[in-house]
């Protein structure tokens, strides 16, 4: 079978589409093992917190105990006088007039500038020769605060006399928000919801609430800044996007970007929490001030203050449906708490609004989503990014509608499920597979786990299989099983007209008699396995088995963020693209050297496989080693996905998203209805992944996302008191699922290719974190008969005590 | 203060240790063994899990001074430890360790199983998880899923959803216990 050619292909006969015949070992589609696996299991993988440098100092950050206050004075003299302290810095010590940073708006002070706007805001920095010395010196800094009134929810933020948190806004959304304490507001109007509502036989409304979830990556924020002889700085850091950090760091330091050289260190998880800066600028400032390398490592307490969280949200929904189960219309209003600084709130608003309908066909909608500025902790990116909150609400509504109509909740969803060709509320046509009904069918068809697994042959209950576990709170009495379903839709890649690209530099040369490819990108490997996949792509495209992954740094162009489920699509796409260019060069050289020996060089479609140039009918023409000789082919190229458009600020219409990703869950829970304890027995997932480049990693992403959704359903919330103070910044009080809380997670994977994406793949990392939460809550509702409109569901919500 | 103790089979000494330092700090910052991780500093996450005279401990909660004269095994010593147990059963020699107490041995069965099963993503929980899983397999050569869950319930992982970690422990157990469960009586269950 011939390989399809694209119009823009380079001359000759290089197939540019799927290299589906590749036999090269370790290529795409195989579950090849992680290249960093061995170092990670022997404890020698260097995370950013493991770095060490001769003569290194430790940095520490003094943070505000107040959520909103004016700083009237700061006295650092006692801290400076302490033995072992090398520097103490406050806002007044910043080297340039550029004293703020931010992902979307430049609104976040590097160090508090006369005012603190949230609990835990950085106020001063200390560098000392021992971390404990730095901590103790920081405690000796005397800061006088004059507390200011606190803005903590929509009512207090939008009140007539509300303090304006950012009075001099100059961001691009400032002109069309109805109140300066609104970061961004996105309405979407399509059809006529009021008119359509008249056709409804039933109408259901609901108010839902989602608590503030934390990414809780295990490796706290950390890095090492080393001052260089040229006046610049070398920063070794755990981040999700080196070049975005660089763009924000350099102007604050007053250095040109080329003098801020960043290298990615080992990253202990991210999940969105490393998109914003944390200690990057602080460590650089201390290093430049002292002339010594400075390491900063947050502990868990500080980590809870050191990064943004998932936006807590309040959501109002109205749906109508006809008797035969077709949804007539949807109206919703979603209020996200962005906290003190903008972070990525505008983009989260865009997602929440544009994905608020879910994976359903609803032609008449009236949508409003907005994010507030408050004195609560800043919120921004976390896996699922605005789609998580909406999914909890619309899936709760689906169950409510089905119940009101007396329909099976899965059949009702299937009746309204979108498929390829459906129109989003933004007017965008879904132009690749959207197998929503099929995903629901798959999870429903899975066998249910056996009932009462706590029962043993001897008659005594195995309490480990019961809610409460070894706490021995029940032997089965009061325990009720429930089953719940949910499905969700997530966008992939950066949306709304953002110029989203990645860069790959690939070299091909002969080393030790073997062809070796070197892949250099700035992609942040945060645990997801992007480096594994990049190597697989290079093997497939270049037909070599030896691939070296160069460490990620800023010596190569930007890879964009490791977020938005985008890196396999984007940096994978960039590596593929660069490899195609390399292959073209190889074939050029081959034609020049050997073209006269075989007519196929001129006439056949040529591939690189198993270290050889071969024809499309598998005839080998030459060894790569002979074609390359001493030549090093070295190409760096940017690669973009197809462009998107901004949403219209009034109607919300626009081709806003690159790709959509779908997952569905079935949750089986057992609830001790007397104590309100929930045990999730099984959490099955079905997802369309387009093409599984590495099936083992795909499953790993689905498992991990599913469990984070479970955490939001029943465990995880940063409690912020009415005075805007954080109450539980520790793993003792902020609970994430343990292996005992985690059920079996059977996974079904569909591979329906998206023709617009490399290899047909679909970004997969986030979709399963959406539907997991509402599926678990639906199951608890089924077991208890309670409405449960808020996550996380706590025991007292079940017992009513 | 001066601290002297055995780490991964080697005598180690640390000088000028401040009394408030944890065993974890001394291992990571003074002995150049950063394999044990610090993720919560209050004994909730298990990332810093090591063996102290054979017992599993959160090294962040152990004052460094408590390790004086005792025997510590970290993730860096797991492979030698496994080899030693295997050799001990077959009467072989001690495993060699490198300068800083780092393994020169091939991977231990549990380490290999974590790689093969895809139980490593970001890897930050991995060292503590491995030390705990190795200890489980040492005392229980063929654990049930409930046993594995109980044994690893003090080790948080945020990436994997634990499915592949369960699979890895099962895999290591299934591959045979000869190299792993040297000190337990595992006759009949080894492979």
Domains of chain A (ranges; CATH) run: 4-30+501-640 (3.30.365.10), 48-148+221-297 (3.90.1170.50)
Q: A130–B18: do the CB atoms touch at under 8 Å?
A: yes
Q: Answer yes or no: is pLDDT of A10 > 50.
A: no
pLDDT at site A742: 98
pLDDT at site A459: 83
What does the pLDDT look like over B137-170, one tens digit per residue?
999 999 999 999 999 999 999 999 999 999 999 9
The DSSP-derived string for A554-582 is: TTS-----S-TT-HHHHHHHHHHHHHHHH
CB-CB neighbors (< 8 A) of A221 in chain B: none
- Quote the CA–CA distance of B163 and A768 in Å, as a whole number: 15
Six-digit token string for A82: 């302490």
- Quote the CA–CA distance of A761 and A785 in Å, as a whole number: 40
Chain A residue with Cα closest to B125: A218
Give the residue-averaged pLDDT of A236-249. Answer: 98
Is-contact A479 A530, C-beta < 8 A?
no
- Quote the CA–CA distance of A743 and A681 in Å, as a whole number: 5
Tokens 């609990």 sit on residue? A119
Gap from A314 CA to chain B (nearest CA, Å): 26
Q: B34–A740: do the CB atoms touch at under 8 Å?
A: no
The DSSP-derived string for chain B is: --EEEEETTEEEEE-S--TT-BHHHIIIIISS-TTS--SSSSSSS-TTEEEETTEEEETTSSBGGGGTT-EEE-GGGHHHHHHHHHHHHHT-PPPPB-TTS-B-SPPPHHHHHHHHHT--SS-SSHHHHHHHHHHHHHH-SS--HHHHHHHTTT---SSSTTHHHHHHHHHHHHT-STTT-TTS--TTT--
Give the residue-averaged pLDDT of A711-735. Answer: 98
Q: B164–A703: do the CB atoms touch at under 8 Å?
A: yes
Is-contact A730 B44, C-beta < 8 A?
yes
Q: List the single residue in B36, B122, B162 with the smallest CB-CB distance to A526.
A: B122
Closest residue by Cα to residue A122 from A103, A108, A137: A108
Q: List the single residue in B42, B115, B130 with the smallest CB-CB distance to A731.
A: B42
Q: Could you tell me the CA-to-CA distances from A187 to A3, A333, A738 in Å, in that order?
A: 45, 9, 39
- Going through A624-746 in order, the beta strands assigned E by DSSP cover 633-640, 659-672, 677-688
Q: What is the mean pLDDT of chain A?
A: 96
A2-6, A132-136, A163-167: least confidently modelled range: A2-6
Whole-number CA gyration radius for chain B? 16
In this structure, is the dihedral angle defined by the CA atoms of residues B50, B54, B57 and B62, taken in order, positive or negative? Answer: negative
CB-CB neighbors (< 8 A) of B36 in chain A: 43
Q: Could you tell me the CA-to-CA distances from A311 to A8, A172, A216 in Å, in that order?
A: 43, 21, 14
Is-contact A614 A604, C-beta < 8 A?
no
Q: List the single residue in B79, B149, B157 with the smallest CB-CB distance to A740.
A: B149
Chain A residue with Cα closest to B150: A740
What does the pLDDT look like over B93-131, one tens digit per residue?
444 444 444 555 689 999 999 999 999 999 999 999 999
Q: List the single residue in B35, B45, B122 with the smallest CB-CB distance to A44.
A: B35
Give the residue-averaged pLDDT of A706-726. Answer: 98
Q: Answer yes or no: is pLDDT of A120 > 90.
A: yes
- Quote the CA–CA distance of A287 and A59 in Å, as a whole number: 9
Closest residue by Cα to residue A533 from A745, A704, A700: A700
Q: A72 by DSSP, 3-state: which?
A: strand
Is-contact A401 A412, C-beta < 8 A?
yes
Q: List the single residue in B44, B111, B152 with the smallest CB-CB distance to A732.
A: B44
Gap from A372 CA to chain B (nearest CA, Å): 29
CB-CB neighbors (< 8 A) of B61 in chain A: none
Q: B158–A49: do the CB atoms touch at under 8 Å?
A: no
Beta bridge partners of B4: B13
Six-digit token string for A27: 């290529």
Q: Helices B78-90 and B109-117 sit at what angle, rounded to 10 degrees?
A: 130
Give the residue-averaged pLDDT of B160-187. Answer: 75
Q: B166–A739: do the CB atoms touch at under 8 Å?
A: yes
Q: Which of A30, A31, A37, A768 best tests the B interface by mutation, with the highest count of B CBs <10 A? A: A37
Q: Which of B73, B148, B159 best tests the A interface by mutation, with the highest count of A CBs <10 A? A: B159
What does the pLDDT look like over A620-639, one tens digit per residue?
999 999 999 999 999 999 99
pLDDT at site A195: 98
Those residues whose C-beta lies under 8 Å from the C-beta of residue A327, and which sit 6 or more positions away, are A319, A320, A321, A360, A361, A362, A401, A416
- Quote the CA–CA distance of B137 and B179 in Å, as a whole number: 10
By the 10 Å C-beta count (0-12 exposed, 13-18 middle, 19+ buried), A106 is classed as middle
What does the pLDDT look like over A44-89, one tens digit per residue?
999 999 999 999 999 999 999 999 999 999 999 999 999 999 999 9
In this structure, is the dihedral angle defined by the CA atoms of residues A430, A436, A437 and A439, taken in order, positive or negative? Answer: positive
Q: Answer yes or no: is pLDDT of B50 > 90.
A: yes
Q: Could you tell me the CA-to-CA distances from A410 to A437, A443, A489 in Å, in that order?
A: 9, 10, 16
Q: Answer yes or no: is pLDDT of A13 > 70.
A: no
Q: Which domains are present in chain B?
A: 1-191 (1.10.150.120)
What does the pLDDT look like over A740-785, one tens digit per residue?
999 999 999 999 999 999 999 999 999 999 999 999 999 999 999 9
Q: A703–B161: do the CB atoms touch at under 8 Å?
A: yes
What does the pLDDT look like over B13-43, one tens digit per residue?
999 999 999 999 999 999 999 999 999 999 9
Chain A residue with Cα closest to B148: A739
CB-CB neighbors (< 8 A) of A696 in chain B: 118, 164
Q: Which of B8, B80, B121 best tests the A interface by mutation, with the highest count of A CBs <10 A? A: B121
Give the residue-averaged pLDDT of A222-230. Answer: 98
């Amino acid at each position: 079978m011939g390989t399809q050619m694209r119009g823009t292909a380079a001359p000759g006969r290089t197939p540019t589409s799927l290299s589906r015949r590749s036999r090269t070992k370790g290529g795409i589609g195989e579950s090849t093992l992680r290249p960093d696996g061995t170092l990670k299991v022997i404890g020698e993988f260097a995370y950013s917190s493991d770095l060490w440098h001769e003569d290194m100092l430790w940095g520490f950050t003094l943070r505000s105990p107040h959520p909103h206050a004016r700083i009237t004075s700061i006295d650092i003299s006692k801290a400076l006088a302490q033995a072992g302290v090398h520097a103490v810095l406050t806002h007044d010590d910043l080297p340039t007039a550029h004293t703020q940073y931010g992902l979307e708006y430049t609104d976040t002070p590097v160090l508090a500038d006369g005012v603190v706007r949230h609990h835990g805001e950085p106020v001063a920095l200390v560098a000392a020769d021992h971390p404990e010395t730095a901590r103790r010196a920081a405690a000796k800094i005397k800061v006088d605060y004059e507390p200011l009134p606190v803005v903590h929810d929509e009512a207090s933020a939008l009140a007539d006399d509300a303090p304006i948190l950012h009075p001099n806004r100059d961001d691009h959304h400032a002109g069309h928000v109805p109140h300066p304490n609104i970061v961004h507001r996105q309405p979407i109007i399509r059809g006529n919801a009021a008119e359509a509502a008249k056709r409804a036989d039933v109408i259901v409304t609901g108010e839902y609430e989602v608590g503030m979830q934390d990414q809780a990556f295990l490796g706290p924020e950390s890095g090492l800044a080393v001052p260089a002889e040229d006046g610049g700085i070398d920063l070794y850091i755990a981040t999700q996007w080196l070049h975005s950090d660089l763009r924000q760091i350099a102007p604050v330091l007053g250095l040109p970007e080329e003098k801020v050289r960043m290298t990615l260190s080992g990253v202990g998880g991210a999940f969105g929490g490393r998109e914003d800066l944390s200690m990057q600028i602080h460590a650089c400032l201390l290093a430049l001030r002292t002339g010594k390398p400075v390491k900063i490592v947050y502990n868990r307490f500080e980590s809870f203050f050191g990064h943004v969280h998932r936006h807590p949200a309040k959501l109002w929904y109205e749906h109508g449906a006809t008797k035969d189960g077709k949804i007539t219309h949807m109206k919703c209003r979603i209020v996200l708490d962005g906290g003190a600084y903008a972070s990525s709130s505008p983009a989260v608003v865009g997602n929440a609004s544009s994905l608020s309908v879910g994976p359903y066909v609803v032609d008449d909608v009236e949508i409003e989503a907005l994010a507030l500025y408050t004195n609560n902790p800043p919120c921004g990116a976390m896996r699922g990014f605005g789609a998580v909150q909406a999914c909890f609400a619309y899936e709760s509504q689906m169950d409510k509608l089905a119940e009101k109509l007396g329909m099976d909740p899965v059949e009702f969803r299937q009746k309204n499920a979108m498929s390829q060709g459906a129109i989003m509320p933004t007017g965008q046509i879904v132009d690749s597979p959207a197998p929503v009904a099929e995903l629901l069918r798959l999870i429903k068809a899975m066998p249910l786990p056996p009932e009462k697994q706590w029962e043993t042959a001897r008659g005594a209950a195995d309490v480990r299989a019961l809610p409460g576990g070894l706490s021995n709170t029940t032997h089965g009495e009061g325990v009720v099983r429930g089953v719940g379903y949910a499905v969700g839709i997530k966008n992939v890649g950066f949306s709304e007209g953002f110029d989203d690209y990645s860069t790959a530099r690939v070299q091909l040369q002969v080393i030790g008699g073997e062809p070796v490819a070197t892949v250099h990108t700035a992609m942040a490997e945060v645990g997801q396995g992007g480096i594994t996949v990049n190597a697989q792509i290079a093997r497939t495209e270049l037909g070599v088995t030896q691939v070296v992954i160069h460490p990620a740094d800023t010596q190569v162009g930007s890879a964009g963020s490791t977020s938005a489920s985008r890196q396999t699509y984007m940096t994978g796409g960039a590596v593929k693209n660069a490899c195609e260019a390399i292959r073209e060069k190889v074939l050029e050289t081959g034609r020049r050297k050997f073209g006269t020996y075989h007519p196929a060089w001129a006439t056949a479609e040529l591939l690189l496989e198993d270290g050889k140039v071969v024809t499309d009918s598998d005839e080998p023409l030459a060894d790569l080693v002979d074609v390359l000789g001493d030549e090093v082919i070295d190409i760096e190229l940017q690669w973009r996905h197809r462009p998107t458009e901004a949403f219209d600020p009034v109607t919300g219409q626009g081709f806003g998203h690159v790709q959509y990703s779908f997952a569905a869950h079935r949750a089986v829970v057992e609830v001790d209805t007397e104590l309100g304890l929930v045990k999730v027995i099984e959490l099955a997932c079905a997802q369309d992944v387009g093409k599984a480049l590495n099936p083992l990693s795909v499953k790993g992403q689905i498992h991990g996302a599913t469990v984070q959704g479970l955490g939001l359903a029943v465990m995880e919330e940063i409690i912020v008191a009415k005075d805007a103070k954080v109450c539980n910044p520790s793993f003792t009080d902020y609970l994430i699922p343990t292996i005992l809380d985690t059920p079996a997670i059977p996974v079904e994977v569909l591979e329906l290719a998206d023709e617009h994406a490399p290899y047909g793949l679909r970004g997969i990392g986030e979709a399963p974190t959406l539907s997991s939460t509402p599926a678990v809550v639906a199951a608890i509702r089924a077991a208890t008969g309670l409405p449960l409109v808020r996550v996380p569901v706590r025991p007292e919500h079940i017992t009513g005590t | 203060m001066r601290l002297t103790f055995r780490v991964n089979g080697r005598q180690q000494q640390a000088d000028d240790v401040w009394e408030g330092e944890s065993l974890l700090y001394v291992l990571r910052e003074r002995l150049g063994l950063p394999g044990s991780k610090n993720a919560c500093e209050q004994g909730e996450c298990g990332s810093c899990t090591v063996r102290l005279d054979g017992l599993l401990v959160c090294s962040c909660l152990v004052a460094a001074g408590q390790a004086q004269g005792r025997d510590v095994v970290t993730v860096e010593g797991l492979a030698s430890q496994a080899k030693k147990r295997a050799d001990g059963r077959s009467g072989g020699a001690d495993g060699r360790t490198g300068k800083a107490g780092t393994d020169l041995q091939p991977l231990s069965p549990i380490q290999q199983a974590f790689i093969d099963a895809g139980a490593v993503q970001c890897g930050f929980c991995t060292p503590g998880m491995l030390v705990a899983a190795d200890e489980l397999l040492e005392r229980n050569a063929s654990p049930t899923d409930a046993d594995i869950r109980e044994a690893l319930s003090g080790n948080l992982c945020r990436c994997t959803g634990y499915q592949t970690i369960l699979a890895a422990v099962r895999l290591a157990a299934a591959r045979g216990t000869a190299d792993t469960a040297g000190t337990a009586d595992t006759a009949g269950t080894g492979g």
